[in-house]
Structure 1
Amino acid sequence: MKFKIQIVIAAAFIFVAGFAKAQEDEFADLRILYMDQKYEKLISKAEGYVDKDKTRKSPEPYLYLSKAYFEMSQLDEYAEKYPPDKAFRDALKWASKYRRKDKEGNIYDENDFYFNELKKSAIEEAGGLMSDEKYSRAKRYYDGITDFDPNDAGAWLMLGYCQMQMRSMQEAKLTYQEAGKALHTADMEKLNSTERKLLLDGVINYSDYLIQEGMKDSARTTLDLARPALEGDSEFEMYLKKVN
């Protein structure tokens, strides 16, 4: 009896491994086109998967569409046919659609290098717009980050700040609620340098707002939540002294 159970278990493992391999191989053509830097062909092929009933719910085609547009936004050879600004916005758009198909982020960590590069570029674009006080345009980039990474507290905080500057106070209130959830649930010690800098900017902007509204204790609570990620940062430590 024990021998039969072992056979059943072994068969189950083989089936699961075979199923996972089949899923991986299903989009091997997209992976190869991406590695070969054939981005226009990759877009055409991935769009085909998006249009098919069998594969439209799979996150991989949407992810590869995002990757293709991002790479083209960085290369001069595509600039005429795919203007960099639009190509980058398309990269964010498809990243958002990818996450809707991968709600639990099952393949997010496998692609963390790509998403970090996408974040860095989005933050850079938004930063320039923030300096020019073009908050409605900067908002799109922070909104895009929260779409593909809903656990990024810094992006939520910066999105809320933009909404406040646009006088969209009800929207900002809801956004800050999402920021609070992310601050409570995110593993702050695992944030990379890009995410920590975004969190620092977001926390300082939000704390300034709370202090102006006479809610200094709430500002201290927010800073305490971010402390595991930011402790030791000179700008953060200076701000803490100012608040305390």
Structure 2
Amino acid sequence: MKKLVLLTCLLVGFVINANAQPPEYDDLVIYYADGDYEKLLKTAEKYTQKDETKSDALPYLYLAKCNFEMSKDQKWKDKFPKAFNDAIRFAGNCIKKDERAGTSVVQDNLGFFTDLKIAVVEDIKNLVAEEAYMKLMGAIAKLHRFAKDDVGSYFLKAGAQYMENDKSGGKITEKEAWEKLDAIQSVENWRSIDFEMLKVGVLVYCKAKIQVMRLKDDAVELLGRVKQWLEHDSEFMAYYDEVIN
């Protein structure tokens, strides 16, 4: 009788422990590998609605990765026209869930988040080239959905606001940009795209400070601060020499 009770307790304990383990989401892994994106979207969405899995970061990661892949393929454009924006939205959700749970989903999938940032920054650079400063606000907002601490984007936003004669808004954003710059302790773990975004933001900000605000000293100060990180960038150094010399 005692053996039977002990065995029952062990089995109950095993079931409880098994139920407490987070799912591995093998189905999502397989659907993604097979390119079965529609099935992946439906399955991952169900996970985000279940009480036991809605706080996990992985379903949101696969929703982001799936939408990002579809956004690059013309065949999905008509059925999923917002795939790129959805990828950004779910990437932001994934980061929030990951931070709250103290897991390492984002760090383990840094390559994906880097690729996503590269794509958004490419759109930003095109808008900068077109001097479409109002549209830049939307692009920067997208970037902040999953890269809210990107320093260069805040200088870019301030510069764009100044270019649009939004001086009050520019001053608020500029203060935030300098605070984020001052908070940098190391760039050891920065990626190439982080430096690229810093350069883009600094150049737009400095041009706005000189051309619109007539405050060249502010531009000179920022150029001097970031030179240590961008001195190997020919575009930055050409502008630096133009302003400083």
Pair 1:243 & 2:243 matched:
yes
Give the CA RMSD over aligned residues: 2.8
1:34 is matched with 32
Q: How far apart are residue 230 of structure 1 and its match?
A: 0.6
Q: How many residues align?
A: 223
Q: Secondary structure at the match of 2:35?
A: coil
Q: What is the distance in 2 between the residues matched to 1:231 and 1:52? A: 50
Contact 1:184 1:225 in 2 (8 A): no
For residues 110 and 155 of structure 2, the distance between their equivalents in structure 1, rounded to whole angstroms, comes to 21
Output one character per residue of 1:63-113: Cα deviation in whole Å (capped at 9) or x when no partner: 221111110011122122123xx2111111222222333347943232221
Q: TM-score, normalised by structure 1?
A: 0.77
1:122-161 matched pairs, under 5 angstroms: 122-161=120-159
Structure 1 residues 111 and 226: alpha-carbon distance in aligned structure 2, compared to 1, 3 A threshold: farther
Q: Provide the residue aligned with 1:67 in structure 2.
A: 65
Cα distance in structure 1, aligned partners of 2:94 and 2:175: 24
Gaps of 5+ in 1: 1-17
Letter in 2 for 1:197: E
Change beyond 3 A, Cα 1:219–1:129: closer
Instruction: Provide the residue aligned with 1:227 in structure 2.
Output: 227
Q: Distance in 2 between matches of 1:101 and 1:163?
A: 32
Match of 1:89 among 68, 85, 89: 85
Change (3 A) 1:176 1:147: farther
Letter in 2 for 1:109: Q
Tell me the CA shift for residue 197 of structure 1.
Answer: 1.9
Which structure is higher in helix share? 1
Distance change in 2, residues 1:131/1:37 (3 Å): same
- Displacement of 1:168: 4.0
Matches of 1:41 and 1:147, distance apart in 2: 25
Query: Is 1:199 matched with 2:194?
Result: no
Report the more deviating stretch, 234-243 or 101-110. Answer: 101-110
Distance 1:131 1:239, change over 3 A: closer
Q: Kindly tell me: are residues 46 and 179 of structure 1, through their superposed partners in 2, closer, same or farther at Cα, counting changes over 3 Å?
A: farther
Is 2:159–2:206's contact at 8 Å kept on the other side of the alignment? Answer: no
Letter in 2 for 1:93: R
In structure 2, the gaps of 5 or more residues are: 1-16
Q: Does 1:210 align with 2:209?
A: yes
Q: What's the secondary structure of 2:135's corresponding residue?
A: helix
Partner SS for 2:155: helix
Give, in whole Å, the separation in 1 of the partners of 2:207 and 2:66: 39
Identical amino acids, percent of aligned pairs: 33
1:173 pairs with 2:175: no
Give the drift of 1:45: 1.5
Task: State whether residues 60 and 91 of structure 2, in contact with CA within 8 Å, keep that contact through their aligned partners in structure 1.
Answer: yes
Q: What is the CA–CA distance in structure 2 between the aligned matches of 1:46 and 1:39, rounded to whole Å? A: 10
* C-alpha distance in 2 between matches for 1:166 and 1:60: 40
CA distance in 2, matches of 1:103, 1:161: 31
Give secondary structure in 2 for the equivalent of 1:188.
coil
For the structure 1 residues 26 and 199, does the alpha-carbon distance in structure 2 shift closer, same or farther, using more than 3 Å as the test?
same
- What amino acid does structure 1 have at the position aligned with 2:95? R
1:122/1:53 CA distance change after superposition, 3 Å: same
1:142-200 CA-to-partner distances (Å, cap 9, x unmatched) read 22112211232122222333333444444433333332233233433433222222211
